[in-house]
Amino acid sequence: MKFGIIGYGKMGKVREEVINNIPGHEVVKIYDPFVEEINIGVRVARDHIDILNDNEIDAVFICSPNHMISKYVVESLDSGKHVFCEKPPGVSVRQVLEMREAEKRNPGAKLMFGFNHRHHESIIRSKQLIDSGKYGKLLWLRGRYGKSVPPDFGSNWRSKKELAGGGIFLDQGIHMLDLFLMMCGDFEEAKAFVSNLYWHSDIEDNVFAIFRNKEGQVASLHSTMTQWRHLFSLEMFLERGYIVINGLLTSTGTYGEEQLTVAENRSVAPAATWSSEEKIVYKIDSSWETEVKMWLEAIKKNTKVPMGNSDDALKLMTLVEKVYAQK
């Protein structure tokens, strides 16, 4: 297969590297108004339409600023291309619905949104343990995901609501919320405090949110860019044990090592003592490749994308809007 890329920032380069490392696939054309041909080894498109009208190209990666996502996804699907789009899935439920309509108009085209955290080995193992029932029912979750921002953040499109659609929650916290959905299925209720006490821009720098579903499972989320250090922590407590992930493998290494801790041999309730814990430290992050291969497999077999599909996107953005409505 041959691919085009719309948007050649950090994620555009990541997707190019992944595809070119999979035998039989290659990126042949890229569009980005700030990229010069001398810097890349493929053809540079005049605009995104140049990619969509190219019959040699089978599929498109969309790695653009958030405010352009819906437009690019809809036009790419309507041109008959398969689409892999970086998160978030647009900036509103309305945009997700527009993309879903384009998907329905083009049933042969496969649409997937890039939520690579689902494909980290620690996350996959956690989901397997929860689904196995070994530790009983999942009772509650707590997720913290935060950082500071670089000195030039104010000049970046992510700092402007008209371009980004939201702040740290839509940019980073959405990954944690997506993991909550992966573990629990869906949530009907959402309560939140959204604040901007430090940066004083038109986007939030903190979200404290809590979600509850029909089964009574509750998930607590803190998404922040005033933490002054990088931190990822996902805690999942079950009837007969707990699963905790601290740290996350990233290209920068700023979140530290990725460690999964699983409690074993719980004492008889209600006392909660443990004779042992299983600890696994993950050394390799293959999430970028794994999620792309999932999309390619759906294309090859003409099956539904199993994760990161438009159904997942609609659940996610419905909750995002509930949170932002409580500013």
Map tokens 């929650």 to a residue. 169
Q: What is the pLDDT of residue 252?
A: 86
Q: What is the pLDDT of residue 38?
A: 46
Architecture of domain 121-248+250-283: 2-Layer Sandwich (3.30)
Q: Residue 90 in contact with residue 317, Cβ under 8 Å?
A: yes
Provide φ and ψ at 223, rounded to 5°: -115, 125
Spatial contact of 226 and 209, defined as CB atoms under 8 Å apart: no
- What local confidence, expressed as pLDDT, does residue 265 receive? 59
For residue 273, the model assigns a pLDDT of 65
CATH superfamily of 2-114: NAD(P)-binding Rossmann-like Domain (3.40.50.720)
End-to-end Cα, the chain, rounded Å: 45
C-alpha to C-alpha distance for 65 and 51, rounded to whole angstroms: 18
Strand order in the sheet with 206-212: 189-195, 206-212, 218-224, 138-146, 231-238, 241-246, 258-266, 274-282
Please give the model's pTM, rounded to 2 decimal places. Answer: 0.95
Cα–Cα distance, 213 to 217 (Å, whole number): 6
Residue 282: both structure tokens together: 């993950």
Query: What is the pLDDT at residue 275?
Result: 67
Low-confidence ranges of the chain (pLDDT < 70): 36-40, 265-275
- What is the pLDDT, as a whole number, of residue 203? 96
Beta-carbon-side half-sphere exposure of residue 238 (alpha carbons within 13 Å): 23
CA distance 83 to 58: 9
pLDDT of residue 39: 57
Q: What is the pLDDT of residue 40?
A: 63
- Domain boundaries of the chain, sorted by first residue: 2-114, 121-248+250-283
Tokens of 196: 């901007």
